[in-house]
Structure 1
Amino acid sequence: MKFKPLLASLYVALPLLATSVEVLAARVTLKLAHNLDQSHVVHQALDQLAKDLKEKSNGELNLRIYPSSQMGSPRETIEMVQNKALDMTKASASELEPFVSEFAIFSLPYLFSDEEHFKRVLFGPIGEQITAKSQDSGFKIIASYVAGTRSFYAKKPIHSPADLKGMKIRVVPTPTTNKSMELLGASPVPIPFGEVYTAIQQGVIDGAENNIPSYYQTRHVEVAKFYSQDERVSVPDYLVIANSTWDKLSPEQQTLLMQAAKDSEILQQKLWDEEVIRSKAESEKLGATFIEVDKQPFRNALAPIYDDFAKDPNLSTLMEAIKTEEAK
């Protein structure tokens, strides 16, 4: 008889124990690595995404972020995602171009008439058409982030393509960016992003090209005082998840992740607009000169790239669709 209370308590405890084991078994921690500093607005948006996931899933779905190239370069982290060694990463369209050729469209100079045109493409049906191609390469894109426009900065002023002649400019190495530099008379140099400061300082390269927040946050402003606002291209960033990781998530977890990712897009755009203003002001305090250039000579010099894209049926179709979107 003395065992009855013990048995009764076990009958009560066992279901609770089973439930707790199921909850623990259902918890998922996703690992995300990227090459940005923690001060970057994309990292801030990803950090908020992680908080939203944890809160809305009651701790069931978690995101652990490894910033500042802790797991390697964008190329390396993309390949890790493909090889199921990493769940998620952040990559620019240029960095994704070797894996999905359609991303080259964002390296086409002066393709977008203004920021609104760019956003209609990025977040609309054309953008979805491009990102859908990634699943054949082993990963799925679940968010798109704006990254402003890319312009040249260097130790000397750049007012026209003539000023670029003979200069060594660091680029993200893709066929499109390499050809762009050559058409402008410069030599493309594909050195790692983290080495740009020292390379400019030591004269290994003469300058680089990027958006204003990156120019300021990387402290490149300290070694390259002239930022020429040629604003050639708008190259977005993307949040990437391995197909294998996505398939392991429950439908409820997938829905939570997609909603949090979409919310992060909205937050990132707000943070980006604020950061552009702040970074430009802070750069000027450090002695930077921002140069408004006549963009037409740059457009003329880069026109042959359009001929190259026209030869590719997929890229040609995308170009026409984007031009049509401009008129809306």
Structure 2
Amino acid sequence: MRGKKLFAAALSLLVAGAVLVTGCGGGAKTTGEKKEGAKYTFRLAETHPPDYPTTMGDKKFAELVYERTNGRIKIEVFPSGQLGEEKAVIEQVQLGAIEFTRVSASPLAEFNKQLGVLSLPYIFDSDEHMWKFLTSDMGNKMLDGLETSKMKGLAYYSSGSRSFYARKPIKSLDDLKGLKIRVQQSKINMDMISALGASATPMPYGEVFSALQTGVIDGAENNYPSYYSSNHYQVAKYYLLDKHQRVPEVLLVSKAVWDKLSDEDKKIIKQAALDSVKTQRELWDKFEKESEAKLRAAGVTITEVTDVKPWQAAVKPVIDKYGPEYKEVLEAIDKARK
């Protein structure tokens, strides 16, 4: 009991400290006795390395905010999981102990149910289709829906599409049948793998390389950059480009922090987030192409799925199972297709 009280006290001090730091300079006067806006120093938590496209997007966002406030608002980016892993960081952002973060939309479905639709397989025909939806009224509504969970969604970032890779040749849907495939721990992902005839094997990302190496699993799924940077291609040299999921990233701010900002500062931060998307997407596209080239040079066999209809037919039970709870969003996704 005493330990819990000490933890609560420490957490209160942490939050109070954040408020004190962010409030410094508020209402201060310049030498000309002209009032200037409040000065803030915020932190942005990022799990990816410093040179990763999402981290570079974070940095562009911070740079734009700094420039547009004449240095009054400084956002320091902490890459490589320095402030913790995504789930722990999300909790800290809700408390206001960490002000900003960039996370995958997948874990955010726990806080805004509508975001879960983004994990459904084959709902987007292309990257252009996805972005047309994300920038629509419904896409913005999904970002705003995070406010009920003490977070404010600022913008979406790209993370490409996910495809399958394995230790043995996979060139078709039939080749997946019976394979043990590692997936992220979510019901939708597990149901998708089962519908495709494979055996879903949830496990932490950090264990995948050794599991592939020892044959505990036969394959996994991810985007080109992650497949390359994780070195999974060294033990699973067959990549089947089916693009079953396109799950974007989300740039977030704590609502506790957001509510303390002036309307002018809110406008600057929101627009800077939206303007940073162009940089992030361009860097992602370049990074993806470079990763593909390196994979081909390393001898990876890449097979592209040219007809996705059999794959869509196979996962129809998954869409039928979860579709009703995402009816409104799926209709908006279909509208973006047209």
TM-score band, normalised by shorter chain: 0.7 to 0.9
Q: Does residue 1:254 correspond to 2:266, yes or no?
A: yes
- 1:176 CA displacement: 1.0
Describe how 1:186-265 pairs up with structure 2 within 5 A. Answer: 186-265=198-277
- 1:64 CA displacement: 1.4
Q: What is the percentage of aligned positions where both structures have the same residue?
A: 38
1:106 and 1:234 in contact (8 A); partners too: yes
Q: Does residue 1:167 correspond to 2:179, yes or no?
A: yes
2:95 and 2:256 in contact (8 A); partners too: no
For 2:217 and 2:50, how far apart are their aligned partners in 1?
26
Choose the corresponding residue for 1:324, options 307, 332, 335.
335
Choose the corresponding residue for 1:19, options 30, 42, 46.
30
Unaligned runs of 5+ in 2: 1-27
What are the superposed Cα offsets for residues 162-208 of structure 1, whole Å, 9 maximum, x if unpaired?
Answer: 32233332222222112111212333333333333333233333322
For 1:63 and 1:190, how far apart are their aligned partners in 2?
35
2:143 and 2:155 in contact (8 A); partners too: no
Describe how 1:61-140 pairs up with structure 2 within 5 A. Answer: 61-140=73-152
Structure 1, 203-212 or 21-30: larger mean CA deviation = 21-30
Structure 1, 241-250 or 83-92: larger mean CA deviation = 83-92
Q: Does residue 1:180 correspond to 2:192, yes or no?
A: yes
For 1:85 and 1:187, how far apart are their aligned partners in 2?
40
Write out the 4+ residue segments of structure 1 that deviate beyond 4 Å after TM superposition. 20-25
Structure-1 residue corresponding to 2:311 = 298
**Closer/same/farther in 2, CA of residues 199 and 125 from structure 1, 3 Å limit:** same
Structure-2 residue corresponding to 1:5 = none
Describe how 1:4-15 pairs up with structure 2 within 5 A. Answer: none
For 1:154 and 1:85, how far apart are their aligned partners in 2?
41
Structure 1, 59-68 or 168-177: larger mean CA deviation = 168-177
Choose the corresponding residue for 2:56, options 38, 44, 55.
44
1:155 and 1:223 in contact (8 A); partners too: yes
What are the superposed Cα offsets for residues 190-246 of structure 1, whole Å, 9 maximum, x if unpaired?
Answer: 333333333323333332211112222232222221111011111111101110011
- 1:18 CA displacement: 5.5
Q: Secondary structure at the match of 1:269?
A: helix
Unaligned runs of 5+ in 1: 1-16
Q: Does residue 1:28 correspond to 2:40, yes or no?
A: yes
Structure 1, 141-150 or 158-167: larger mean CA deviation = 158-167
Q: Secondary structure at the match of 2:141?
A: helix
Kindly tell me the number of residue pairs found equivalent between the two proteins: 309
**Closer/same/farther in 2, CA of residues 269 and 256 from structure 1, 3 Å limit:** same
Letter in 1 for 2:313: N
**Closer/same/farther in 2, CA of residues 322 and 297 from structure 1, 3 Å limit:** same
Structure-1 residue corresponding to 2:166 = 154
Letter in 2 for 1:263: D
TM-score (norm: length of structure 2): 0.84
Structure 1, 224-233 or 63-72: larger mean CA deviation = 63-72
- After superposition, the CA RMSD in angstroms is 2.3
- 1:290 CA displacement: 0.8
For 1:202 and 1:248, how far apart are their aligned partners in 2?
52
Q: Does residue 1:274 correspond to 2:299, yes or no?
A: no
For 1:104 and 1:311, how far apart are their aligned partners in 2?
12
**Closer/same/farther in 2, CA of residues 291 and 52 from structure 1, 3 Å limit:** same
Q: Secondary structure at the match of 1:19?
A: coil
What are the superposed Cα offsets for residues 6-33 of structure 1, whole Å, 9 maximum, x if unpaired?
Answer: xxxxxxxxxxx96379999932111111
Letter in 2 for 1:85: A
Q: Secondary structure at the match of 1:290?
A: strand
For 2:34 and 2:118, how far apart are their aligned partners in 1?
45
- 1:141 CA displacement: 0.6
Structure-1 residue corresponding to 2:8 = none
TM-score (norm: length of structure 1): 0.87
**Closer/same/farther in 2, CA of residues 201 and 37 from structure 1, 3 Å limit:** farther
What are the superposed Cα offsets for residues 110-160 of structure 1, whole Å, 9 maximum, x if unpaired?
Answer: 112222211110111121122121111110110111222110112122223
